[in-house]
Amino acid sequence: MKLPDVEGWLTQAEGDLLARCCEEAPSGAIVELGSYVGLSTIVMARTGRFIHSIDPHEGTMHDPPIYPPSWDKFKNNLWLHDVHRQVIAIRACSTEVRWHSPIAFLYIDAEHTYAAAKADYEHFAPYLMEGSLVGFHDYGEPGCPGITRYVDEELSHLSMVALADHLIVLRGK
């Protein structure tokens, strides 16, 4: 399906792969880390699955901040694209969330350092269910070397399911 007209960084091929992951993931939670104004959230929610979308939306997490506050635009975009009922928005930093349920698809696109990718993955990995998928955006992107290094160095034991532009999807378990 064509990408919605929403600000963001996804390519069409990445959007198609994200939607496919939601469609093919087993029954269980779909968790997105980093939603900004909702482009990837909308792409995933349009599949009819419920999306747990985790982002503080404060735009103040970095010094200097690189994202402006995004909550109002995020909420508005979900309404405009009629997916607000499909999205459970959690306004928090990824590692502050006390997660409990089995995860079918974990999509990581939050802070793009090696340390943050590691912290994000390790915080949620215990909940990945059999047959689950894990996606990292900006894999292989020259501006985000920490993502590529983390996936290559620490997750090489996971099998790769697909790669589209800079979205890599691995089998979680």
Ligand X SMILES: C[S@@+](CC[C@H](N)C(=O)[O-])C[C@H]1O[C@@H](n2cnc3c(N)ncnc32)[C@H](O)[C@@H]1O
- For residue 16, the minimal CB distance to ligand X (Å) is 13
Instruction: Out of 30, 35, 164, 168, point to the residue binding ligand X (CB under 6 A).
Output: 35
Nearer to ligand X, 54 or 170 (CB): 54
Q: Mark residues 78-97: x for contact with ligand X by CB under 6 A, - for none.
A: ---------------xx---
Q: Coil, strand or helix: which one is 170?
A: strand
Name the minimum Å distance from CB 108 to ligand X. 9
Q: Is 122 in the site for ligand X (CB under 6 A)?
A: no
User: Is position 47 an interface residue for ligand X (rule: CB under 6 A)?
Assistant: no
CB neighbour list of residue 34: distance below 8 Å, 6 or more residues apart? 54, 55, 94, 108, 109, 110, 111, 137
Closer residue to ligand X in complex, CB, 97/131: 97
Whether 95 contacts 126, CB under 8 Å: no
How many other β-carbons are positioned within 10 Å of the β-carbon of residue 59? 14
- Give least dist CB 69 to ligand X, A: 9
Exactly one of 22, 40, 133, 151 binds ligand X (CB under 6 A); that residue is 40
* Cα–Cα dist 161/21, whole Å: 10
Chain CA centroid to CA 140, Å: 16
Return the residue of 34, 45, 170, 172 that touches ligand X, per CB under 6 A: 34
Q: Which residues of 22-52 are buried (b: 16+ CB within 10 A; e: fewer)?
A: beebeebbbbbbbbbbbbbbbbbbbbebebb
> Nearest distance from residue 26's CB to ligand X, in Å?
22
Say if residues 162 and 135 touch (Cβ distance below 8 Å): no
Does position 15 bind ligand X by CB under 6 A? Answer: no
Which range binds ligand X by CB under 6 A, 7-15, 81-89, 126-134, 161-169?
7-15
Token pair, residue 82, equals 């009629």
Which residues contact ligand X by CB under 6 A? 8-10, 33-36, 39-40, 54-56, 61, 67, 70, 93-94, 109-111
